[in-house]
Amino acid sequence: MRKIASGKMEIYERRVTSMKKLLAMVLALVMTLSLAVSANAAFKDVKDIDETYAEAVEVLTGMKVFKGYEDGSFLPKNAITRAEVAAIVYRIYTTDVKDTYVKNYETYNKFADMAGAGWAKGYIGYCANAALVKGYPDGNFKPSGKVTGYEVLAMILRAVGYDQKGEFTGADWALHVAQIAEQAGVLKNVKGVDLNAPATRELVSELLFQSIQVPMVTYTAAFGYQNVSLTGDKDKNLLKNNATIGYKNFGLICGEDEDEWGRPTKVWANDVNESGKYESSKDSAYATIAYKADASFQAATAQCDILKELGTKKDVKGNLIVNGQKLDAVTLKDVTGKVGAQGRQIEVFYKYNDAGDTRVVMIDTFLAYVDGTAEAKFDKNGHMTTPYTMTLYVYDQENEGRKVVLEDKDEAFTYEEGDYVLVNAYTDKVNSANESGNVLNNKDQYVEVIGKAESFVGAQTKIWKNAAQHTVADKVYDDAYKFLLNEAGSTGTTAYTWFLDQFGNLIGAVKVDNSSYAVLKDIIWKDGKPGAAYATLVYMDGTEKEDVEVSYIDGIKDPKEENVPGNVGDFVEKYDDSIVVKNEMDVLFAHNYAYVSASSRYNKYYEGIALFRVDALKDGDVELNGYGIIDHAKGVTLKKDASSVLLDRNTKINLNSNTQFLVRSENDKGEWIYTPYTRSNLPDFAENSVELYYYVGGDGYAKYVYVKNATLEADLGTHAFIPQGSYGLNVEKGVWEMDVVIDGVERTIRITDKNLVEYLSENTGKLFHVEFSDRYNNTTKYGEVVDATLVNEEWDSDGNSSVDHDGYDCDYITYYDLSKAEVQQIAKGIKAGTIYSPNSEHNWQITDKTVFINQKGNEIKSLDNVVLEDHDIWVIGSTEKGSYEHALVVYVGEKLDKSVALDVTVSAKEGTITVDKDDPAQIKFTSVVDGVKATLTYTANDDNSVILYAGDKTALKSVDVEATKGQDSKKVTVYNEAGTEHKDYFITLEWPVHANVITITIGNVTMDTQKGCEVNFTLADKDNAVAFTAAMVKVKLVNEKGQDVYTNADIAETENGFKATMPCTLTANASYKVVITVDAGNGLTATEHSEYIEAQTAITPAP
C-alpha cells in the first residue's frame, strides 16, 4: 500500500504483519487488547510468526539485537543454538548491535570446545567472562547445541542481575529459573510450552523481550534480591523501581501514537531525551504496533448495529477522524440512525488502551486517473536531484479530477499513463460522519495508492435512484459514495468501462477507449453516394486492416513549405484535423483539406507518411490524429537495446522494454514493408540515419516508435574502387551519382560536392577510403559520400590504424621495388592460393569466397593473367580468429606514382631559386634587393602526392606558400602517391638589402648648473635619401654613473641642423654627457654621444 506523507510527500511502504492479542492485567479487571504489528523488518515469512510472539520479534529486530537471515527470512519455527542466543544476549548486554568489538573477546576461552565455535567465539567469550552463560560439567559449552527455553531464561536473567547466589546451579536450577521468570511476569504470554525442550526462534524472542522489561535487581545477603532503590527524596517516595536492562541500554519505552489516518498505535522507542515517556517528535521508534479495530464496516451503518458489534448497548463516545482530519467527538447511540457511506471504511477502536479511550476512524476511497509517471534524475555522482513522480487526477467532484503529484525517493511507480487506481486521501475540513470535502493537493496532502481499480466493460440497463444502484451487464452493483466519474450518466446505453472499488462498489464509468496507433500504409478515394477515402492501416504489432474509412487526417510540413512553422516532416497546426476530400493529381494538404485521388499512383505521398493515433468515430469511420500527439525526429541514432535516442545535447527520447517499434523498409520489388520489433531485436541502423515518429506516454517513455526511414549499417561500406570515372547529375534529387565497386559489389554513390566527384573521376583504377554523411543537414543527406582518401601504404590498415576500415584489414600491395625474380616467385605463390604483401608481410589466403575486381570494375576469376609489375593491388581481408588472413575482395588497379620530386618556383619580380647540384634537397631562395616578401610555389610530381609544409599543413600536388623577410629557412616534405616514400627538402631564404648609414655630428654643448643643458647637432645619411625631422630624434642627459638625468629633451630644427634643450638643475663640478638616438624607419637607426662635460655656474656681470 503506497503512502505519500504530508508536506514533503515522502512515500514509504507500509506492511502489516500478523495480528497479536495481548493480555494485560489492570488492577482486578482483565481487558483484551487487540494489536497488529507494523513490521519494520518485513521478513518474507512474517506470516509464519505466531501472533503471540510477533510483537517480541518486531521489537528485538527493530533494536537490531535479533537478526534474520540473508535471504530475508526469520524462520520463526526453527530451533536456535546456544551460540546464537549468546550473540543476542551479548548485543543486549553491551549494546554493540553492529558487533564492532566482539572480535576482542575471541581469546576469552573458558570452555574446552571453543575451537569449533567459529564465528561465535567472541560472543561466548564475553558472555562467559561476564558470568552470563555457563557450560556443562564436562567443561564444554556446546555452541551448536539446541538451546532450551530455560537455558535462554538463565542467560538473560543473569543479565538482569539474578544468579548472584548460584540459584541457577545444581539439580533444581531450571525450577529456580522458572520461579523467577513467573514472578517477574516474563512468562505471561507463554502458555502450554515445554521450556525444557529446544526453543524456537520466536519463543526465544518472547522470553528475551519480556525479560528486558523486568527491573534489574541487586543482591545483598541481608535483603536478598531488590528491584527498587532509594530516591533520596524525603518528602515524597523514598523508593523507585530500578531501570530495566531494555531502558538502561536502549532507552526502551512504550507509548501511544497514531497512523496517518488516526488509527491508534503502540510504539516501542528509544527515549532519546530520557524523559521517561514517549515523545514522537523526539524519540526514535524501534517498532510500531497497530491496534486492531473492534468493529469495521464499509457502508452506511445503523448506530445500533455498531454498538451490537462492540458488545454493548450503552452510548459510546469517541474521537471522530475522517480522512485524516480530527473532528469533534461523536456519540454512537442505540438508534437506527446511520453513519458512514457506501464504500467508506468505518473502524471503531473501543476502549483500546488502559485509559479506556475510543476512536472512530472513517476513510473514503477515490478513483484516480494516472496522467503519467516520470523517472528520477541523478547527478554525475549518482545523487538523486529529482525523485520519481506520478501525476494523478483524483475524482472528488462530479466528472472532474483534481491534480495531485506524488513523489517517491526509493523506487519508480509501477503504474502507467491511462491506468485508473484507487486511493485514500486527506480531504479538507468539510468532513463529517456522513460526508467529506475535496482532496488536498497542497503541502498538507497525503495519499495512499491502494492499487489498480478492477474494471469491466458493459452497458447499463437500470439506474436505481433510491437505492443508489446500477444494473450493468445484468448484474446489480451498489454505487460508491465517491462514484463521481460517470461518463455514462443517465442516458448512456452503449458499452462503457466500469470501475469497482476494493469493496465491489461502482466508483467510476468512462467511455471505452477505441483509439489505437497505426501507420497509414496507403489510401485511395472510392466514388459512391457519397464517396469516401479508404485506407490500409498497419498497427504497431504489424497487423494490417484494410478498407478503413478515413474522414480526417492531420498533415505534416512539406519540404516546399518554407513559410509554415516547424521542421519538415513535423505535424503542424495548419493541417490539424484536415478533412479528407477527393482531388485528382494535386495531392497534398491545403486549406484544411487532405486531398486524396481515386488513382493510387497519385497517392504516393501518403504511403507510410507517419504514425497516427487512430480514433474511431461513431459512424464507424476514423480520424488520423498526430498534431500535439505524435513527435517527429530525423537524422538520429537508434541502437538495439538502447535506453534512449539522443535528439540534441539536452533532449532525448526515453525507451524501455515496453516500447513497441514498427520499421518501414523496401523489399526487392521496391515495395514498402512494415515489420514490428522490440528494443532487444531491432536491426542495426547506421548512426544518424534514422527518421522516426514516436508517441511518449505519461511515464516519460516512448510507447510507440515508427521508423519511417533508416539505413542499415550493412548498406554502407568504407572502401570504394573507381572503375570508370563517369558520373552524372540526378536532377530530381540534386546530387551527383557515380558507379563504383564497394566490398566487391557494384554500387551507385551520391555526392553533393562537385569538386569531390570530379576528383574521384580523375583517379580511375584506384581504391579510396570513403566517408558517408552520418546525418541530415542543409547540404547533405544521410548516406552521401562527403570525403574520400586514397588508400596507399600510408593509409591502409598497417600504415594507419586510426582509420576505420569497417572491421576489416585493407592492404595496399605494390611490387615496384622488387626484382623480376622476386615478382615471379610471388606470382607462383598467388597461383598456389596466397597473395604475399611485402610491406605488411601478410600472406592473404585466396578462398572460394574471394572476389577479384579488375581496373574496369569487372569481376575476374583470378590473378593468373595479371602482370604484377604493371599493376598495384588492394586486398580487403579479415584477420579475425577463424578466418585469419582470408582475402575477401582483391582489386587490381593502376600503379600509384612513386616519385617524391619537388619543384620550387617563384616570380622573377620577387627573387630567384637555386638548387644545389650535389644535393637537390638543398634549395636556396634569394629575394630581390630590399624585398620583404615573396610567394613560393611547391609542386610535386603527381596529383595525389602529398606536400607537408609549415609544420603540419598539407596539400595535394601543388601549393603556394608566402615567405616574409625575417624568415631564414623552410622545411617541405613530399610523400609520393603510393605512400611508400617521402623526402625532406630544406629551403634557405636570403633577403639582400641596400646599406644606408646615418651620421650624427654633435656641435656646441653647454652645461649650466642653473639652466641645464643645450646641444647643437646635425644629421646626414650616406645616400642623402632621408628627410630628417625632429620627430625622428630622441636626446637624453646621462650622469657619470650612467643614470638618466633628463630624457624628454625639447628638439627644434635650426638653420644648420637641430638644437636640443634640457632645462634642469645640474650639480656644480659634476660631469654629464649627451646621448642622441635617431630612427629614420625601415631599420635605419643611429646613436651618438658627447664626451663628459663638467657643469659650470654662469657668472652674471654687474650692472
**Residues 318 and 370 grouped into a single domain:** no
Structural domain contains residue 15 = no
Q: Counting Cβ atoms within 10 Å, is residue 206 exposed (0-12), middle (13-18) or buried (19+)?
A: buried
**CA separation for the pair 340, 297 (Å, rounded):** 9
Instruction: Calculate mean pLDDT across residues 1088-1098.
Output: 91
Q: Please state the domain count of the chain.
A: 9
Helices (H) and strands (E) in the chain, counts: 10, 78
**CA separation for the pair 87, 96 (Å, rounded):** 10
- Which residues have C-beta within 8 Å of that of residue 1031, sequence separation ≥ 6? none
Residue 636 has pLDDT above 70, yes or no: yes
Residue 19 has pLDDT above 70, yes or no: no
Residue 842: per-residue pLDDT: 86
Residue 1099 has pLDDT above 50, yes or no: yes
Which H or E run contains 126? helix 121-129
DSSP 192-214: S--TTSBPBHHHHHHHHHHHTTS
Instruction: Calculate mean pLDDT across residues 570-580.
Output: 92
pLDDT digits (tens, 9 = 90+) for 1042-1066: 999 999 899 999 999 999 999 999 9
Mean pLDDT of all residues in the chain? 88
**CA separation for the pair 435, 427 (Å, rounded):** 10
Structural domain contains residue 258 = no
Structural domain contains residue 1 = no
DSSP 929-979: TT--EEEEEEEESSTT-EEEETTTEEEESEEEEEEETT--EEEEEEE-TTS
Grid coordinates representing 652 are 532525448
Residue 233: per-residue pLDDT: 58
Residue 881 has pLDDT above 70, yes or no: no
Residue 25: per-residue pLDDT: 26
**Residues 581 and 452 grouped into a single domain:** no
Q: Which of 488, 511, 534 is the last residue of a domain?
A: 511
- Name the band, by pLDDT with cuts 50, 70 and 90, for residue 883: low
**Alpha-carbon distance values, 76 to 39, 80, 85, 201, 211 (Å):** 14, 10, 14, 5, 19
Residue 1018 bridge partners (DSSP): 1001
Grid coordinates representing 611 are 504514425
Provide the edge-to-edge strand list for the sheet that holds 506-511: 454-458, 496-500, 506-511, 485-486
Residue 408: per-residue pLDDT: 93
**Residues 1007 and 1032 grouped into a single domain:** yes
**Alpha-carbon distance values, 64 to 120, 151, 430, 645 (Å):** 17, 22, 44, 46
Residue 1100: per-residue pLDDT: 56
Structural domain contains residue 896 = no
Lowest mean pLDDT among 232-246, 267-281, 514-528, 602-616: 232-246
**Residues 84 and 141 grouped into a single domain:** yes
Residue 559: per-residue pLDDT: 80
Amino acid, single-letter form, for residue 24: A
Range of the domain at 696: 631-709
Residue 492: per-residue pLDDT: 81
Residue 452 has pLDDT above 60, yes or no: yes
pLDDT digits (tens, 9 = 90+) for 108-148: 888 999 888 899 999 999 999 999 999 999 999 999 999 99
pLDDT digits (tens, 9 = 90+) for 294-314: 999 999 999 999 999 999 999
**CA separation for the pair 388, 359 (Å, rounded):** 35
Residue 818 has pLDDT above 90, yes or no: no
Find where cell 442516458 sits: 491
Rounded to the nearest 5°, which phi and psi values hold at 616? -75, 135
Instruction: Calculate mean pLDDT across residues 366-389.
Output: 92
**CA separation for the pair 991, 1000 (Å, rounded):** 28
**Residues 680 and 826 grouped into a single domain:** no
Structural domain contains residue 1036 = yes
Grid coordinates representing 684 are 542495426
- Name the band, by pLDDT with cuts 50, 70 and 90, for residue 7: very low
Residue 67 has pLDDT above 80, yes or no: yes
- Name the band, by pLDDT with cuts 50, 70 and 90, for residue 569: very high
Instruction: Calculate mean pLDDT across residues 478-490.
Output: 94
Q: H/E/C letters for each residue in 655-720?
A: CCCCCEEEEEEECCCCCEEEEEECHHHCCCECCCCEEEEEEECCCCEEEEEEEEECCEHHHCCCEE
**Residues 52 and 145 grouped into a single domain:** yes
**CA separation for the pair 812, 887 (Å, rounded):** 13
Grid coordinates representing 819 are 626484382
**Residues 586 and 692 grouped into a single domain:** no
**Residues 171 and 312 grouped into a single domain:** no
- Name the band, by pLDDT with cuts 50, 70 and 90, for residue 668: low
pLDDT digits (tens, 9 = 90+) for 890-944: 999 999 999 999 999 999 999 999 999 999 999 999 999 889 999 999 999 999 9
Highest mean pLDDT among 430-434, 462-466, 503-507, 698-702: 503-507
Do residues 1062 and 1012 make contact, with C-beta atoms less than 8 angstroms apart? yes
Q: What percentage of the chain exceeds 90 in pLDDT?
A: 67
- Name the band, by pLDDT with cuts 50, 70 and 90, for residue 850: very high
Residue 854: per-residue pLDDT: 93
Instruction: Calculate mean pLDDT across residues 273-292.
Output: 90
Structural domain contains residue 267 = no
pLDDT digits (tens, 9 = 90+) for 156-190: 999 999 999 999 999 999 999 999 999 999 999 99
**Residues 525 and 604 grouped into a single domain:** yes
Residue 467 has pLDDT above 90, yes or no: no
Q: Which of 990, 1020, 1050 is the last residue of a domain?
A: 990
**Residues 48 and 186 grouped into a single domain:** yes
Residue 579 has pLDDT above 90, yes or no: yes
Structural domain contains residue 491 = yes
- Name the band, by pLDDT with cuts 50, 70 and 90, for residue 31: very low
Residue 650: per-residue pLDDT: 84
Residue 586: per-residue pLDDT: 64
**Residues 183 and 47 grouped into a single domain:** yes
Residue 884 has pLDDT above 90, yes or no: no
pLDDT digits (tens, 9 = 90+) for 998-1053: 999 999 999 999 999 999 999 999 889 899 999 999 999 999 999 999 998 999 99
Q: What percentage of the chain exceeds 70 in pLDDT?
A: 92
DSSP 827-887: HHHHHTTEEE-TTT--EEEEEEEEEEE-TTS-EES-STT--GGG-EEEEEEE-STTSTTEE
Structural domain contains residue 147 = yes
Q: Which of 821, 855, 890 is the last residue of a domain?
A: 890
**Residues 570 and 686 grouped into a single domain:** no
pTM of the full structure: 0.53
Domain with 1045 in it: what CATH number?
2.60.40.1220
Residue 102: per-residue pLDDT: 94
